[in-house]
Structure 1
């Protein structure tokens, strides 16, 4: 369900676009710009706390990849004042430095906050829903 001011929901959808753009271009600065300083990231049970640690972990994970195609679609955004929750479906093609490509369908469950007039993720939890080529 999509609830709350349209302007905020569009900004959150665009935040997901920035996230995806950073992934595809292996751009840590762009990708890292979407996180709150004290954010939490749960990537399939690997929990990381704080923006700097999250970006560091992501850089390490991306180092094993030759190429990534990443698409995401918000399927729920609920805004209440300066906080929000969302669910985002993802489709990824991951080409490791060695070995065959994997296709991954996933789901993010998010908490967000509006900080200094812009939305950031305060928490993201990711799980794989479907995977092929693993």
Structure 2
């Protein structure tokens, strides 16, 4: 019986089609270091927004960086700061504790695919946002979506050139219908 299971598994592997070309990614010699720096950039962005550290937040963007989210698109650090602080000031209307105080929000990245080509990089990340606005101020998931990022190296430091925040539950702000990683690879392969 065990031999039959192993034989069937082996037959399946032999008969399985090859991975599509876009799934066969090659990595350069500095990929591990670039990836570590890009993951650090993502974490710094999230800690900055969750702790209202707007200087640290805008510092994750290139000088002429772009942020697109449900409220629109902002270009340049000053415009990004204004957009995110205005958004943050109003978030208490949606997320509040039982006594009406603004809830604490915490953003989490679940997984990230990163592609690096020289001094340019792209990533796709699934994220969710939790807040202590559940019954009895318990945490609950409020929103979730995809980050579509383009990054560039400036003086040896990775920064967001463009961050597009997609909210999977808002009409026309979701990522589908195709695989976001395939879309990232197609974008990276354009000149």
**TM, length-normalised to structure 1:** 0.85
Q: CA deviation at 1:12?
A: 0.2
Moved more, 2-11 or 17-26: 2-11
Match of 2:84 in 1: 58
- What pairs up with 1:1-134 in 2 under 5 angstroms? 3-4=27-28, 5-44=31-70, 46-65=72-91, 66=102, 67-94=104-131, 103-130=142-169
Regions of 4+ moved over 3 Å: 1-4
Q: Would you tell me which structure has more helix in proportion to its own residues?
A: 2
How far off its partner does 1:95 sit?
A: 6.5
Whichever of the two has the greater Rg, that structure is 2
Q: Deviations over 1:60-99 (max 9, x none)?
A: 1111232211112442100011000001111102568xxx
Local SS of the residue matching 2:158: strand
Contact 1:104 1:128 in 2 (8 A): yes
Higher relative contact order (CA 8 A, sep 6+): 1
Deviations 1:27-54 (A, max 9, x none): 1011111000101111036111111101
TM-score for the superposition, normalised by structure 2? 0.61
- Does structure 2 retain, via aligned residues, the 8 Å contact 1:44–1:125? no
- Secondary structure of 1:106's match? strand
RMSD: 2.3
Is the Cα–Cα contact under 8 Å of residues 128 and 141 in structure 2 kept in the other structure? no
Are 1:13 and 1:74, in contact at CA under 8 Å, matched by a contact in 2?
A: no
CA–CA separation in structure 2 for the residues paired with 1:60 and 1:77: 30
